[in-house]
Structure 1
């Protein structure tokens, strides 16, 4: 069974290729070996030094890497090679190449965000859940979570983003298409923001280890949400597909 590899980086932490595995080296600790055939993706937070051979073998094996800042925000990503162009990718690329394409997509995204935020507001019991603007809800959420809780939310969203990079190619979106991962447009980032509205409820309900913000603890929290996130992802992709067919 393939599983994600989460690495909490510290000074001197290194990852090297030790065929047929990745060797994680941490000062004053025993080295750890992780067979490549069992790794679905790698998420690193903090200081982790990668050898070029380790990076290249991950690319060859289809293992994507996500590098996070200490506060949980995404710093960089290393994408593996994907197969032939798929129809959904082409439909979205064609839309974005049109003069009004980005505006049409933005309108679709904002409507989806409004639905997700309203669902969140209703589930937490707000009487005026239909009326609250998204920006206002997000601000109230940040206050409720506090600085530590919001850092957990950022880290959880980064982990979700890494999962979306795995899920999207399964539904016809190329992982290495420059248009879909450009600075101006990032489908995985947009979807992670939508799906996080469902995850915020879990963060608000945390009763144990609220101050625990390590990568491992938040990864464990995500695993509890994984099935629901995947179901919501599929629903979002179906709606995106319907939208693309409508505007094609």
Structure 2
């Protein structure tokens, strides 16, 4: 499905997205999903998931501020999504910084997410390659992570998205790069986490590979627009939300290089 058709479908259907994300990202992620045209729900209690996840268009899981109770909720949500054929997106934030976090990420990856989204260092580490990650920040280039992304995609039958100055999307067979955005974007906390939430909205609206392309293109187009008006990271956030809302479907294809 073409990116412009996916955005049109997303806005027409207004899919409900179950977002299990971190404390830092909740508000930003919810606002990004709303601005793009979908409906976010920040439900994380394990006791609710079996009833709630199946009624959603997609589930997104971000381990940024993971704890033992939240890990249990994440695993329950992933299993429920698989059982009910609901697409789900995994964001293994800084999974290499501790044994606990690494274990959670590996357990979730073993459940075969529909889409895996991370920075270059996160993707390389998941593939068992040495990287230069520093906390939540990548120390590696997107290009350096391309082979790792392809190998994970093939091994887990997932679409893998490596985000950075130029994003890389692959399902193991196909691949594309997405250009645009702004140098200001990494200076605004939680935008990457919010992109994961929006990726769920797109995954609820169409095929996974196309959903990943449309999400990254939407972010790049909106980031370029916001930077033209922003004076810094603070004003960028406001203009970015406005740009997400104002972006028209026919603008997305220009950011994608297949």
In which range does the TM-score fall when normalised by the shorter chain? 0.3 to 0.5
Structure-2-length-normalised TM-score: 0.38
Structure-1-length-normalised TM-score: 0.39
Structure having the higher Rg: 1
Larger relative contact order (C-alpha < 8 A, sep ≥ 6)? 2
